[in-house]
């Protein structure tokens, strides 16, 4: 615990006759309200680290523009408040800080986007203040850049908000520029600077004026020298390790813990659709337990719908779309440098297959979504995993049946979501490369030539149909696999077209591994009219292929459904088709054999 400080040991300023103090940076009523609100907060660490009981905390800075993009502010009083779920990682930051060795004064918190670093720092600012520290809280370096003098004065006024600090606040109000603010801080006794979004001051990132960034950055470095500091930076801050000692760096890369997930679900229970345990697991895998990525589920208007009905709409939420955009934008940095591009792809491959990132230049790693855990590369969440896989497959079409992929699949068997994803993609690639042996139901095909494996961009059936060749002649066999791994309704389509006989045979494929599936066949055939339009004048036939973990082959016949129009003409709504279910051992023997050698039994998944 810090020694309580009563104020800076400065000679009190004397004001000349007729001199009036400047207009107040922060109203005294607001200062008093903030001080009262913080006084009611706990000074016990466990209050801020045990997730079961959520808190409503006062925001420890008064300023016109607060970071509402990161905090859900409410203003029932003069002091804005925000909801805070106690985080277990806060204890790590706290303990590391208070046990810093003699001579160490700085702690740097680096972490992935959306994990809740800002909330942890705001809560720490309150806790440390309650324990006697004089906390100068700077939560938004972007706002600091806009008006550094006013922002710094606001933070200092909030640090000296007590009733006995009125004269000190008067001195702060008279500070006119950064030089005077820095000189004042250098003689202000022991301060604790908590600075968030420090990467906003990074020069050369095309945001803001580099000259002003350099000026403000140098001001901060000269201001907090001699004081203790906790700084935080978002991932991909290219300067995050420069001048930082290893014992000063904390890497925050994990999403919500099990206790935090349980607390999050309980707290938001009234906003959530009914979810099975499997759906909850799938949701947290897709979001990685990252609080920012979990928000779309809370914002969905139709909460009375089943989760499986909401999810296909939810995955198109702008937050998830932006993840894909961010990953592709980062990749474009290396388009003109073949060596850097190869290093970047190697890093992505290492993360997908659980290999070490140590050989990869850290500048070629997208740290927002990729991390090193126990010497193995990892991807932070399912939405990033899908985007990275789709990007990699453009350059490595055989990725999902490569030796590295098959070996990684065996290592990942304990993580059902990751294992299921790798298994599904591997089965689809093997079905394209090796074909499907006779199943006894006239459902077979030979290996598809690489030139006839159509990888199309998009997530809808229209995008698949648009990717088919316009001028086909003779007999052709195609395997249609989406670049986007979350293609609607099915995982892929095998298509045989004979332009001489005007026949087309369509086999939608669904790989169902260790999870519940919607009725993909019904959803696929509900759009059958699009196939009829694309192949006008053709006789169409179809069968639906399910690939399951294990078990004997199964077959079910589904009758056509028709609609009688007012003109008493029958119009097919969906065709007659067979549903054929086969095991992984039938669909992709090489995968089944690889897993068997690794001692993994599909029946146990």
Other beta carbons within 10 Å of 131:
16
Using a 10 angstrom Cβ sphere, with 0-12 exposed, 13-18 middle and 19 or more buried, the burial of residue 436 is: buried
> What is the distance between the alpha carbons of residues 43 and 560, in angstroms, rounded to a whole number?
69
Please, are residues 386 and 485 in contact by the beta-carbon 8 Å criterion? yes
* Cα-to-chain-centroid distance, residue 102: 37
Q: Is CATH 3.40.50 correct for 41-252?
A: yes
- 479-494 burial, b at 16+ Cβ within 10 Å, e below that, comes to bbbbbbbbbbbbbbbb
Q: Against a cut of 0.75, is the pTM above it?
A: yes
pLDDT tens-digit series, residues 416-440:
778 888 888 899 999 999 998 866 6
Extract the tokens encoding 570. Answer: 């029958």
Looking at residue 77, its pLDDT comes to 66
Looking at residue 498, its pLDDT comes to 95
Element (H, E) at 379: strand 376-379
Residue spans per domain, the chain: 41-252, 268-314, 432-604
Looking at residue 345, its pLDDT comes to 95
Looking at residue 234, its pLDDT comes to 76
Residue ranges, the chain, pLDDT below 70: 1-23, 76-77, 204-207, 235-247, 438-442, 484-486, 514-518, 552, 563-572, 603-605
Q: Which residue has the tokens 């959530």?
A: 272
Residues contacting 484, CB < 8 A, separation 6+ = 386, 390, 457, 458, 459
Looking at residue 137, its pLDDT comes to 98
φ/ψ bin of 185: left (φ > 0), alpha (ψ from -120 to 50), beta (otherwise): alpha
> What is the distance between the alpha carbons of residues 282 and 277, in angstroms, rounded to a whole number?
9
> What is the distance between the alpha carbons of residues 539 and 511, in angstroms, rounded to a whole number?
27
């Amino acid at each position: 615990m810090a020694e309580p400080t009563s104020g800076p040991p400065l000679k009190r300023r004397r004001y000349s006759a007729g001199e009036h103090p400047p207009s107040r940076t922060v109203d005294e009523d607001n200062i008093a309200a903030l001080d009262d609100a913080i006084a009611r907060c706990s000074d016990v660490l466990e209050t801020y680290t045990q997730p079961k009981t959520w808190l409503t905390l006062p925001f420890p800075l008064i300023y016109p523009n607060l970071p509402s993009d990161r905090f859900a502010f409410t203003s029932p009083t003069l002091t804005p408040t925000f909801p805070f779920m106690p985080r277990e990682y806060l204890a790590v930051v706290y303990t590391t800080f208070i046990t810093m060795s003699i001579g160490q004064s700085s702690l740097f918190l680096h972490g992935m986007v959306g994990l809740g670093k800002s909330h942890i720092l705001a809560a720490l600012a309150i806790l440390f203040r309650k324990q006697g520290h004089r906390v100068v809280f700077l939560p938004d370096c972007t706002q600091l850049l806009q008006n550094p003098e006013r922002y710094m004065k606001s933070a200092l006024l909030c640090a000296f908000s007590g009733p006995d600090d009125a004269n000190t606040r008067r001195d702060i109000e008279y500070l006119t520029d950064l030089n005077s603010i820095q000189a004042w801080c250098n003689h202000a006794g022991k301060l604790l600077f908590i600075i968030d979004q420090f990467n906003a001051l990074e020069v050369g990132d095309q945001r803001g004026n580099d000259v002003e960034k350099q000026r403000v950055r140098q001001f901060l470095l000269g201001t907090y020298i001699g004081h203790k500091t906790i700084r935080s930076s978002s991932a991909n801050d290219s300067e995050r390790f420069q001048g930082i000692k290893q014992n000063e760096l904390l890497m925050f890369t994990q999403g919500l813990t099990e206790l935090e997930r349980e607390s999050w679900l309980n707290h938001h229970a009234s906003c959530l659709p009914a979810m099975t345990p499997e759906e909850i697991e799938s949701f947290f895998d897709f979001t990685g337990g990252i609080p920012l990525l979990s928000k779309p589920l809370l914002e969905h208007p139709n909460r009375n719908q089943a989760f499986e009905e909401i999810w296909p709409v939810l995955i198109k939420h702008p937050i998830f779309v932006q993840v894909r955009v961010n990953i592709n934008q980062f990749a474009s940095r290396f388009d003109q440098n073949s060596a850097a591009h190869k290093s970047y792809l190697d890093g992505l491959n290492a993360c997908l297959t659980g290999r070490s990132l140590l050989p990869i230049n850290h500048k070629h790693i997208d740290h927002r979504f990729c991390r090193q855990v126990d010497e193995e590369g990892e991807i932070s969440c399912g939405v990033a995993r899908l985007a990275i896989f789709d990007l990699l497959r453009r350059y490595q079409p055989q990725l999902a049946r490569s030796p590295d992929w098959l070996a990684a699949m065996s290592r990942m068997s304990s993580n059902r979501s990751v294992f299921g994803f790798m298994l599904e993609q591997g089965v689809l690639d093997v079905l394209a490369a090796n074909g499907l042996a006779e199943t006894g139901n006239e459902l077979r095909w030979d290996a598809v030539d690489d030139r006839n494996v159509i990888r199309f961009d998009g997530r809808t059936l229209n995008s698949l149909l648009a990717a088919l060749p316009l001028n086909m002649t003779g007999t052709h066999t195609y395997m249609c696999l989406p670049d986007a791994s979350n293609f609607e309704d099915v995982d892929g389509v095998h298509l045989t077209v004979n332009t001489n006989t005007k026949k087309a045979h369509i086999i939608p494929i669904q790989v169902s591994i260790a999870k519940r599936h919607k009725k993909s066949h019904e959803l696929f055939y509900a759009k059958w009219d699009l196939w009829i339009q694309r192949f006008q004048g053709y006789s169409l036939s179809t069968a639906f292929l399910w690939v399951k973990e294990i078990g004997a082959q199964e077959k079910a016949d589904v009758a056509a459904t028709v609609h009688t129009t007012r003109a008493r003409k029958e119009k097919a709504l969906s065709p007659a088709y067979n549903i054929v279910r086969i095991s992984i051992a039938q669909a992709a023997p090489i995968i089944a054999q690889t897993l068997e050698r690794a001692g993994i039994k599909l029946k146990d998944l």
